[in-house]
Amino acid sequence: MSVPSTMRASVLHGIGEIRVEERPVPDPGRNEVLVRVGAVGTCGSDTHYFEHGRIGPFVVRAPLVLGHEAMGTVVARGAGVERLSPGDRVSLEPGVPDGVCAQCRAGRYNLCPRVRFMATPPVDGAFCEYVAWDADFAHPVPDTLSDEAAALLEPLSVGVWACRKTRVGPGDRVLVTGAGPIGLVAAQTARAFGVTDVTVTDVSPHRLAEAQRSGATRAVDVRERSLAGAGVRADVLVECSGVAPAAYEAVSAVDPAGRVVLVGMGGQELTLPVSHLQNSEVELTGTFRYTNTWPTAIELAASGAVDLDSLVTHRFGLAEVGADGGTARPGRTQGRGVPGALRDTPEREHVPVRC
């Protein structure tokens, strides 16, 4: 395949300042493939970097290409790559660990302290036309998956990992708090893992309707009634809201010997009902990204068990990412509407950028 020498890239230069500029097309190194980017989902982290210039200890100190929910087509390969060939469509797992640290050797490569993660300073992401990436973290996808769905395998992996962490399975009553994109895919993943009782809570009627459309057996608007008032009890809680009062109430709704995983990112501190956790021996864990989830995510999406296309709110071309003073920017639901997709939703939904 013919590859140009330069490419367009959407580059964050400062808070609220994105420029589309020309950059050299990277050369794939050993065990890397060069991928022509086809679609990139927009994560809340992209929005946060755009609006605040940092997320906790990760500070944007130099121009940065955002976007880590990416897919594309292999156009070239570096030395040592045999598994992939030009023309293969791939979904990119955005974190490449060092493979030698104690966490990697224990199989927990998501906790690698030296991981290179797309769009996390100083590593550039995929809001550009070409990306060179480790071939072991470029996963072939079937042609039955749309470009957008292949890109959104990344947030689906978050849902898969959360369900694995809480050992979700048949017979469990699962409560998902927060019906944003991660909550929606977590609920769908729980159903795909054999759960027949999935309750989703939120304060948005639109999001709750989408949760029921995508497989939740019950939706509770917590503006109108409490979980206790709605009679909600659970064996497993997947907390995706990041809202302190919601988390407190939801943990209290978990029955003895239940499992809780905290997924949503709110403040640095969270008040929880410790006496309930102790007296009921409720397991509580956090979750950080994912490990070995792409094969399962691909199978769930390709089989139709999880609907990723429904997460798409709008589509923008690469040149539109910083258009109109940044209005068509990561996380915004402005621009061309997508019939049948999520519309009129708050920011931090998934808005694929077509490259």
The answer to whether residues 137 and 172 belong to one domain is: no
Residue 47 within any structural domain of the chain:
yes
DSSP 318: G
Residue 259 within any structural domain of the chain:
yes
The answer to whether residues 323 and 204 belong to one domain is: no
The answer to whether residues 13 and 146 belong to one domain is: yes
- Mean pLDDT for 126-141 is 98
The answer to whether residues 14 and 52 belong to one domain is: yes
The answer to whether residues 147 and 164 belong to one domain is: no
Non-local (6+) Cβ contacts of 31 within 8 A are: 78, 79, 80, 81, 134, 135, 136
Residues composing the chain: 355
Residue 296 within any structural domain of the chain:
no
Residue 297 within any structural domain of the chain:
no
Instruction: Tell me the two tokens of residue 332.
Output: 């915004």
Residue 56 pLDDT: 83
Under 8 Å between Cβ of 309 and 349? no
Q: Which CATH number covers residue 28? A: 3.90.180.10
The reply to whether the predicted model has a pTM over 0.95 is no
Count of other CB atoms within 10 angstroms of residue 340: 9
Tens digits of residue pLDDT in 19-37: 999 999 999 999 999 999 9
The answer to whether residues 63 and 171 belong to one domain is: no
Residue 294 within any structural domain of the chain:
no
The answer to whether residues 74 and 56 belong to one domain is: yes
Residue 1 within any structural domain of the chain:
no
Closest by Cα among 77, 87, 97, 80 to 137: 97
Q: If you average pLDDT over every residue of the chain, what do you get? A: 90
The answer to whether residues 14 and 136 belong to one domain is: yes
Q: Is the pLDDT of residue 353 over 70?
A: no
Closest by Cα among 264, 257, 214 to 235: 257
Range of the domain at 195: 160-286
Domain count for the chain:
2
The answer to whether residues 176 and 276 belong to one domain is: yes
Tens digits of residue pLDDT in 239-271: 999 999 999 999 999 999 999 999 998 778 899
Tens digits of residue pLDDT in 35-89: 999 999 999 899 999 999 998 889 999 999 999 999 999 999 999 999 999 999 9
The answer to whether residues 215 and 279 belong to one domain is: yes
Q: Which CATH number covers residue 229? A: 3.40.50.720
The answer to whether residues 117 and 170 belong to one domain is: no
Task: List phi, psi (to 5°) of 302.
Answer: -65, -30
Task: List phi, psi (to 5°) of 115.
Answer: -65, 140
Residue 67 within any structural domain of the chain:
yes
The answer to whether residues 26 and 118 belong to one domain is: yes
